[in-house]
Amino acid sequence: MKTTGIQQAESLAVVRFRIYLVHIASLAVFIVPFTWPLLIAAIVSFFIRVFSWEAGSHRYFSHHAFRTSRVFQFVLAAMAAAAAQRGPIWWAANHRKHHRHSDQPGDPHSPVQRGSMYAYMGWLMDQDNLNTDLDAVKDLARFPELVWINKYHYLFPYLLLVGIYVVGQYTALFGRTGLGISAVVWVFFLSTLLSLHSTFVVNTFAHARKPGWLNNRRFDTPDTTTNLTWLMSIPTMGASFHNNHHRYMNAARAGFYWWELDLTYYVLRVLALLGIVWDLHPVPAKVLEEGMAGGVSERVSEAVTDEVK
């Protein structure tokens, strides 16, 4: 299996179709039969999906913020693919590029460079961002199973969709049998939609915003990153502490302080206790001290303010 060069993605039309389908199919929540177990399952599915891309594609594959076995690495990659945010190597390659060029030319989804709509979702439907440059992520491309998952990432959400339909149609797990279509709409499409938008919100609203009650800048990073309100730390499972992350991206936690709710980190701690993951990379003491002493959360430098205008 080739592990260097460019791994070709599906056509732009296919990628756009999937994005549109998720949005349109989610509207069916207003017409399909509803049960409370379906709602609970949709919420659980949402958080599993967010954890999959935040712990998997982001903290592990993009930044190696912790270590694990090759077996669980495969599990993380499969979960990340099933979360319907493309392949984990593609995700990591684009995210590393984002850090190298944050809010500068070359950033794949900076609202400063291309505007909020492009940064929110338009970049996903840009031909220039479709393929995976395996040479840019050789640390990941040396694993043939990861390259395979990245190439055939669409199989995993499809298999999940079928599995959810079977459970909903032939078991009473969601309240009664015969709820296959409802299960697909609620547990698959709606959770996929909300998981996607939790990523989009971080990419867009945690950049190029002045501090206020919705966000703050604790660290004086060379970009426009902010930490979003603590309420956003719940649906993003900690990814909303974006300014923290851009100050020290290799930490296993994005919520640097005890009062910053980071659900992904708490799950990783449990997995570490079970021996599934280990070597959770800590935030250096000097970075924590800098964040406590800086007082940047109350202001934005003139350069950042001018850039937003």
Give, in order, the Cα–Cα distances in Å from 92 to each of 189, 191, 197, 264: 24, 22, 18, 17
Task: Report pLDDT digits (tens) over 6-23.
Answer: 898 888 999 999 999 999
Average pLDDT value over all residues in the chain: 91
CB atoms within 10 A of CB 81: 29
Confidence of residue 298 (pLDDT cuts 50, 70, 90): very low
Task: Report pLDDT digits (tens) over 186-225.
Answer: 999 999 999 999 999 999 999 876 767 688 899 999 999 9
What pTM did the predictor assign?
A: 0.91
Task: Report pLDDT digits (tens) over 95-150.
Answer: 999 999 999 999 999 999 999 999 999 999 999 999 999 999 999 999 999 999 99
Any idea how long the chain is? 309
Tell me the three state secondary structure of residue 169.
helix
Q: Are 246 and 107 in contact (CB under 8 A)?
A: no
Amino acid at 123: W
Task: Report pLDDT digits (tens) over 144-184.
Answer: 999 999 999 999 999 999 999 999 999 999 999 999 999 99
Query: Looking up tokens 């791994």, which residue turns up?
Result: 7
